[in-house]
Chain A
Amino acid sequence: MSEKQVTRRNFLYVTTGAFAAAGAASLAWPFVDQMNPDASVKALASTEIDLRPIIPGQSITVMWRGKPVFIRRRTQAEIDEAKKVNLADLPHPEEDSDRAQNPEWLVMVGICTHLGCVPLGQKGDYNGWFCPCHGSHYDTSGRIRKGPAPTNLEIPDYVFLNETTIKIG
C-alpha cells in the first residue's frame, strides 16, 4: 500500500466511535449534575431581614443559603476608619463605598475567604474581624489586611426594600 485510502469502512468506524463517545458523554452528565445544588436548595436562595432592632455598634448573624451573613450597624468611628485607609495598603483593594450601599450598614458573608471558617467580630489587629483558624485579620469594612486569606469578605447581592428591611440574594 503506497497511499492510505479512506475506505467506507474507515468512515463507518470513525462515525460509530464518535457517536458512541458523544452518547457516553451526554449520559454521563446527569450522573455529574445530580451533585449540583438542587431545586430545593436553590429555592431558599433569598432571605429578608428586619433591621429595626439593631442599634449602632451591634451586629447580627443571619443564615442565607446555609451560610452565615454578618449585618453590622457600624459606628461613625468604624466608618471613618474604613474610609481613611489608603487603597495601596490593601492586598485586595476595594473602596469602602463599593462595599456598603449605605455606609451605616455593612452586609457580608461571614465566611473567611481562606478556608471557610467563621471569623470572630470586633477582634484582630484592625478592629474588624479575625479568623481563628489560620489567623486572617479583616478591617472594619471586612477587607483582608493580614494573614493567608486571598480576598476581602464577600458582599452578597442585597437590596434595601425600604429604610429598615433588606433582602439578601
Chain B
Amino acid sequence: MSENYAPKSAVGRWFNDRLPLLNLIYGHLLPYPTPKNLNYWWTFGGILTFCLVTQIITGLVLAMHYVADADLAFASVEHIMRDVNYGWLLRYIHANGASLFFMAVYIHMARSLFYGSYKEPRELIWIIGVFIFLLMIATAFMGYVLPWGQMSFWGATVITNLFSAIPLVGESVTNWLWGGYAVGSPLLTRFFTLHYLMPFLIFALVILHVWALHVPGNNNPEGINVVQGSQDTVPFHPHYVVKDMFALVVFLVVFAGFVFFVPNLLGHTDNYIEANPLQTPEHIVPEWYFLPFYAILRSVPDKLGGVILMVSAIAILAFLPWLDTSKVRSAKYRPLYRQFVWLFFANVILLGYLGAQTADGLFLIIGRIATAYYFAHFIIILPLLGYIEKTKPLPKSLSEPVLSPEERQMKAAASGASA
C-alpha cells in the first residue's frame, strides 16, 4: 500500500525520494485497512489525540503568562484570568481539557476491557497505554499544583508525603523532592518544568502506541482476527476519518458546554484561595479523575500499605493481558465476563464516589470492600473465568453476525460451490 504511493506534485516527489515521510503518513492514515464494524467506542483514540494536542497548545500559551514562583504564581493565574487577552478562555480550555482528557481515556480503557483489546497479539499496545496513563496522572497532578491555591498546595503536600512512607530513605526522598523541608517555591518550579516536559513524552508514547497498533491492526467488537485487506476491512480514509470527525464534533459540543457554561463545575472552590501553609482546608479532595485511587489509598489504615495498594491498583493493569486467561476477546461472546466487567465498572464508579466522601464509618467499610473487589477482579475472577466460562461460538467473519439466516445460507452455498 504505502510502497505504491507517489506524491502528485514534483516538490512532493523530490522530498519523498529523499525522506519518505509522506509515505509513512499516507500508509498510516489513508488506506490503512480497518475492520468494517468498529463502533463509536473506537473513536476515542482520535479524540484523545485531539485532547493531547489541545493541552499542548493551550499550555504553551498559558506558559507565556504564568510565573512559577510561590509568591507570584497565584497572582499570575488571576492575571491570566482578568488581564491577558482571552486568558480566561485559554485557561478554562486547559483546565476543563484535562478533565475531558481523563473522561475520554477512561472510556478508551473501558472499551479495551470490554472487547478484550489488550489480549494477544496486542499486549504491548495496552502496556504502552498504561504508561501513557501513568504519565497523564503525573502531568495532571503537577498541573493542578501550578495555580498555587489551597487545593494545589495541600494536594501537593499530601501526595508528596506519600513518598515519606518509603522505609529508611522516605524523609530524604521527600526533602529531595521538595528542595526544602516543606512544599514551597522550589517544588512549584520543578513541577512546572516537569509539567511542561511530560506531554511531549506522552506524545512520543502515543506514536509508539499507534505504531504498535498498526502491526496487528485494530481489534473489533466481535474480537475475532480479521485478515487485513479482506472483505472485512475498509480503508481508514474516508470511512473512519469521517466517523472519527463526527464523534469529535459531538465531543466538542460537550467540551464547549463545560468551557462556556460551567467552567468551574469540575474544579474546587478552595483553589481560588491562595495557598496557606498554616491552614489545611477542612476537606481535601483530589480532582474527580483521581478519586477511585484516592479511595483505595484511604481504605488502608496503614500509611505504607495504603501507598502500596494505590500504586498496585494502576500497576496491576500492566499485567492484565496475562491475568485474563480466556482466549476469547470480546465480552459479547463471554457470558460471565460480560457481567463481571460491568460489575468492575460499577465498582470503580463506587470507589470514585467514596473517594469524595469522608473516610469514616460506613463509607470506610464500603471502601474496603470495594477496594478488595477491585483487586479480586484482577487476581481471582479473571484468571478463573478463563477456565470455568463456557464461551459462545465465535463468528467466522465480521459479516456473519449481521446477515439474515437466508443471506447466511446463500453465502454458505456460494462458498461451498466455489470450494
Please give the residue numbers on chain A whose beta carbons come within 8 Å of chain B beta carbons, in ascending order.
32, 35-38, 41, 61, 63, 65-68, 111, 114-118, 131-135, 148-150
Known: A35-B190, A117-B158. A66 touches B301 (CB 8 A): no
Instruction: Report which residue of A37, A68, A117, A133 has the largest number of chain B beta carbons within 10 angstroms of its beta carbon.
Output: A133
Chain B, residue nearest A68 (CB): B278
21 CB-based A-B contacts, threshold 8 Å: A35-B177, A35-B179, A37-B179, A41-B179, A63-B277, A68-B277, A111-B182, A115-B158, A115-B303, A116-B158, A116-B160, A117-B158, A117-B280, A118-B277, A132-B282, A132-B283, A134-B298, A148-B298, A148-B302, A149-B303, A150-B302
Interface positions, chain B 270-317, Cβ under 8 Å from A, are: 277-284, 298, 301-303, 306
> Is B280 in contact with A133, judged by CB distance below 8 angstroms?
yes
With A and B bound together, what is the CA distance between A130 and B9 in angstroms? 73
Interface positions, chain B 180-217, Cβ under 8 Å from A, are: 180-184, 186, 190
With A and B bound together, what is the CA distance between A115 and B154 in angstroms? 10
Known: A114-B303, A133-B284, A148-B306. A37 touches B180 (CB 8 A): yes
Cβ of B347 under 8 Å from chain A: no
> Is B176 in contact with A36, judged by CB distance below 8 angstroms?
yes
With A and B bound together, what is the CA distance between A148 and B283 in angstroms? 16
With A and B bound together, what is the CA distance between A53 and B368 in angstroms? 48
Instruction: Collect the chain A residues with CB atoms within 8 Å of residue B306's CB.
Output: 148
Across chains A and B, which 3 residue pairs bring their CB atoms closest together, nearest first? A66-B182, A65-B181, A116-B161
> Is A148 in contact with B176, judged by CB distance below 8 angstroms?
no
Cβ 8 A contact of A66, one of B161, B176, B181, B358: B181
Interface positions, chain B 155-179, Cβ under 8 Å from A, are: 157-158, 160-162, 164, 175-179
Cβ of B400 under 8 Å from chain A: no
Known: A35-B190, A132-B282, A133-B284. A117 touches B359 (CB 8 A): no
Interface positions, chain B 24-45, Cβ under 8 Å from A, are: none
With A and B bound together, what is the CA distance between A61 and B280 in angstroms? 13
Cβ 8 A contact of A133, one of B158, B301, B302: B158
Please give the residue numbers on chain B whose beta carbons come within 8 Å of chain A beta carbons, in ascending order.
154, 157-158, 160-162, 164, 175-184, 186, 190, 277-284, 298, 301-303, 306, 358-360
With A and B bound together, what is the CA distance between A4 and B184 in angstroms? 58
Instruction: Collect the chain B residues with CB atoms within 8 Å of residue A67's CB.
Output: 181-182, 277
> Is B303 in contact with A65, judged by CB distance below 8 angstroms?
no
Chain A, residue nearest B165 (CB): A150
Instruction: Collect the chain A residues with CB atoms within 8 Å of residue B158's CB.
Output: 115-117, 133
> Is B180 in contact with A66, judged by CB distance below 8 angstroms?
yes
> Is B279 in contact with A118, judged by CB distance below 8 angstroms?
yes
Instruction: Collect the chain B residues with CB atoms within 8 Å of residue A135's CB.
Output: 358-360
Instruction: Collect the chain A residues with CB atoms within 8 Å of residue B283's CB.
Output: 132
Cβ 8 A contact of B161, one of A32, A63, A115: A115
Known: A132-B282, A135-B359. A148 touches B179 (CB 8 A): no
Chain A, residue nearest B305 (CB): A148
Chain A, residue nearest B174 (CB): A116
A111 to chain B: closest CB distance in Å?
Answer: 8
With A and B bound together, what is the CA distance between A69 and B182 in angstroms? 12
A147 to chain B: closest CB distance in Å?
Answer: 8
Instruction: Collect the chain A residues with CB atoms within 8 Å of residue B302's CB.
Output: 148, 150
> Is A115 in contact with B162, judged by CB distance below 8 angstroms?
yes
Cβ 8 A contact of B284, one of A32, A68, A117: A117
Chain B, residue nearest A36 (CB): B176
B68 to chain A: closest CB distance in Å?
Answer: 15
Cβ 8 A contact of A134, one of B160, B184, B281, B359: B359
> Is B175 in contact with A36, judged by CB distance below 8 angstroms?
yes
> Is A117 in contact with B154, judged by CB distance below 8 angstroms?
yes
Instruction: Collect the chain B residues with CB atoms within 8 Å of residue A116's CB.
Output: 157-158, 160-161, 164, 183
Instruction: Collect the chain A residues with CB atoms within 8 Å of residue B182's CB.
Output: 65-67, 111
Chain B, residue nearest A41 (CB): B180
Instruction: Collect the chain A residues with CB atoms within 8 Å of residue B183's CB.
Output: 66, 116
A21 to chain B: closest CB distance in Å?
Answer: 23
> Is B282 in contact with A117, judged by CB distance below 8 angstroms?
no
B144 to chain A: closest CB distance in Å?
Answer: 16
> Is A66 in contact with B277, judged by CB distance below 8 angstroms?
yes
Known: A132-B280, A148-B302. A115 touches B181 (CB 8 A): no
A38 to chain B: closest CB distance in Å?
Answer: 7
> Is A65 in contact with B180, judged by CB distance below 8 angstroms?
yes
> Is B157 in contact with A117, judged by CB distance below 8 angstroms?
yes
> Is B284 in contact with A148, judged by CB distance below 8 angstroms?
no
With A and B bound together, what is the CA distance between A37 and B173 in angstroms? 11
Instruction: Collect the chain B residues with CB atoms within 8 Å of residue A36's CB.
Output: 175-176, 179
A139 to chain B: closest CB distance in Å?
Answer: 19
With A and B bound together, what is the CA distance between A150 and B167 in angstroms? 12
> Is A61 in contact with B278, judged by CB distance below 8 angstroms?
yes
Chain B, residue nearest A148 (CB): B301
With A and B bound together, what is the CA distance between A63 and B180 in angstroms? 13
